[in-house]
Structure 1
Amino acid sequence: MRPADFSTLVLRSLTAAKMRSSLTALGIAVGICAVTLLTSLGEGVRDYVLSNFSQFGTRIIAINPGKSMTGGMGGLLQTDRPLTLDDAQALTLLPHVTHVVPIVQGSGTIEANGRSRSTDIIGANHAIHSAWQFELALGRGLPADESGRSRSFAVLGDKLQQELFGGQNPLGQSIRVGGMRFRVGGVMAAKGQMLGFDLDDMVFIPVDKALMLFNRNGLMEIDVVFSDSASTEQVLASIRQQLITRHGAEDFSLISQDDMLQSLNNILRVLTAAVAALGAISLLVGAVGIVTIMSTAVRERTSEIGLLSALGASQRQILLLFLAEAVALSLAGGLAGISAAIALVLGLQLFLPALPLQLSLFYLGLALLLSIAIGLAAGITPARQAASMNPITALRAE
């Protein structure tokens, strides 16, 4: 059988019952569209999360107290020796280190101008603005005083200063942070949110004042930013050696931004694949539709199968003929579903730009391959039935 004749037979068999073929392809199209939309949402969320973490830069190493846990009060309680301001100062002497930021975090009430607001309080040093890539909209950043003798200046987030001062200029105004008096020295430029944390609704105070405010003797974290002239492994090794020398043991945990981003990337890719697998369940409906229509076609075209066999068509050619029809139906549905999904994603990005949707060529190609695989899997049984028919019995069926 010539390829041109083969293609003509496949096309005619599909167009002979247009409504039936269209409805069968629609079942596949709906499933492929669902898979494409879900993977687009998963990819969008992945890009959103990774971009949020990357906004502080990628050459950051976080040091947390405690070996078994990586941060918070849990790590602080499990270490014999907490991280201190002296540790942070010692890390500034290491080669390739550009910024060291000691951090204490808590929450409290901020009072100013007859108003009050409960929000997060970050204790840090003057390097936080460069290390975390925070730009100032007004005034200056945290004072670069010696540890333990910092002046009582605070920097407000953009949203917090709007809530406390409205349209007034907050610079030089007096505020109370958890009962301690500070003077507003600057206002951060709008930064937005990161994983539910509103970076604009925070107040930043000197780290030594934060230790006093929260009655702590150790830091919650030290962030180290290093230059691109050194590898992450080199800086990790020098930090580890410096702190072991000071503490006498490795009672701390090191997490590089690269490791964190890679771990997040892997987790979110698995979640995207899991969501796509859930969406693929809807493809079972389309697969059942293909099995049904192809089984019906085999019964309706029994005499045609007998005639093809009488004209010299082999069992393999008949099997491939019906299998090609099933794949063509599934592929048509897959292309329609992908086209609909792309149109929906582009429309949603236009009217709902905040919705994290991201088309991925990898998942688009995978969806297309999936539609072909479904056609092959659903069409193999009816195709075998057609190929195994006795030519004489099939001719008598008319």
Structure 2
Amino acid sequence: MKYSFWLIFIAAFVSCRQEAPKVYTLQDDVAFLASDSLKGRETGTQNELMAADYLVQRYEGIGLSPGGNAGTYFQTFTFKPKKDPHQEIQYVEASDSTITGTNVIGFIDNQAESTVVLGAHYDHLGMGGEGSLHRGEDAIHNGADDNASGVAVLLQLAKRLKDGELKGNNYLIMAFSGEEIGLLGSNYFSKNPTIDLKDVTYMINMDMVGRLRDSKVLSVSGTGTSPIWPQVLNAYNPGFELVLKESGVGPSDHTSFYLQDIPVLHFFTGQHEDYHKPTDDADRLNYEGMEQITDYIMEVIGELNDNPKLAFRKTKNESEEVPRFKVGLGVIPDYLFGGEGMRIDGVSEDKPAQKAGLMKGDIVVKMGDSIVTDMMSYMRALSVFDEGDTTTIVILRDGKTMDVRVGF
């Protein structure tokens, strides 16, 4: 009799343990999304669909309702690949020559009047291709920072919002497809929304939030899209060195919502030497930093929980002022640098900068006759040169001024 009792007890115990839901960490989500098995999550591939299925599993585990089309978590869009890089992509009916991307959308319905959109793109470059900065044979571009990091933070936010007390808004949770080839998934959603965009009070986007530096520099764009943003961001800043940028237009999915007159914020920890390369792997991320960013965004959301719908304000479109270039210096600018000049965050092999001896950390303060005070003045200065030209670049290195001769 005792033997039978213990068998029943053990079976029940094992059953309970098997049914206990898994608690997912930031590391868990990044490890799967940035694994070699997904081969870089290129838009429209079976590998991207595997990532999409994983996200559905995570949404269901969190308790999100389907927010896509026809009662599903999916919103698909179909397009023809561009032959001309300047050609605008058109959405078309599916055929043998088209590609179909898949947005993954969940919803938290708090029966509120307003909805907050939280988003991050989950596609990446696959084996490389046009967007890759890798030189050599094709290789898997896992995209741990770009943008498994943003998706992992998105999932943590969704879990906290589903389980928490912030019921003043509904929440639409979106993992975008097609970002790497032109913000296609967010653009399609903004023109074919699954909710009424008039109810959206604001949108927060996370793209490359996995490499917070020791200096704790955090870029937040879109701060001019609503008068309340600077006040809230500064009031609840736990110690980040914030670089606030007003423009609602930029190279990520928040742009699609800004263009629909929705206030936006875009969180970003900066580019790095592994950007768009096969070396952007899960073991290189700062998970403690990602947790701090998650906490910060939750504080911002919490402060706005009982607010009326945010006022929208148009901002200066900096992208319209970007000049065209006939040559390149071959550097990765440090977009988080807040000082005078343009600080170099990386140098490409066999390009003018490397040949001239420029190094990571150098700050360009003059190019030819032009003073360089920021990224925009650097781009204007670079745009005047043609192939075959030479010029003198003045840099600061370790606090000392140096003249460097560069040939394009």
Give the shorter-chain TM-score range. Answer: under 0.3
TM-score by length of 2: 0.22
Larger radius of gyration: 1
Higher relative contact order (CA 8 A, sep 6+): 1
